[in-house]
Homo-oligomer: A and B are copies of this chain.
Amino acid sequence: MATELTPQERDAALARLPGWTFHQQENSLQRAFEFADFSEAFGVMTRIAIEAEKLGHHPEWRNVYNLLQIRLTTHDAGNAVTALDVALAERIGSFV
């Protein structure tokens, strides 16, 4: 089972994840995206959905038209940031 990253591990991961920030209060990695329109936003969401299923780890996300907000945390680890969140953020970063 994934365990919470230490602050050092988390900071090292964030240094490799441009655009992502750690939100202390919500204990999660977060990133907001703005696309050209809904079609582009949902296209990216579909790619993320496929990666999430492959990883067995899913985002919390909110979409309004061309805007997408993603929050990554691991519920099984007591809502903490784990290597699974970093892995999903890396995959998202590879195509957005």
Contacts and interface: CB of A to CB of B under 8 A. Distances in A.
B61 A38 contact: no
Contacts of A15: none
Contact of A38 (B42, B52, B62, B65): B52
A: contact size bracket: 10 to 19
A64 interface: yes
Contacts of A60: 62-64
A61 B58 contact: no
A38 B60 CA distance: 11
10 contacts: A38-B49, A38-B52, A38-B53, A45-B45, A46-B46, A59-B63, A60-B63, A60-B64, A61-B62, A61-B63
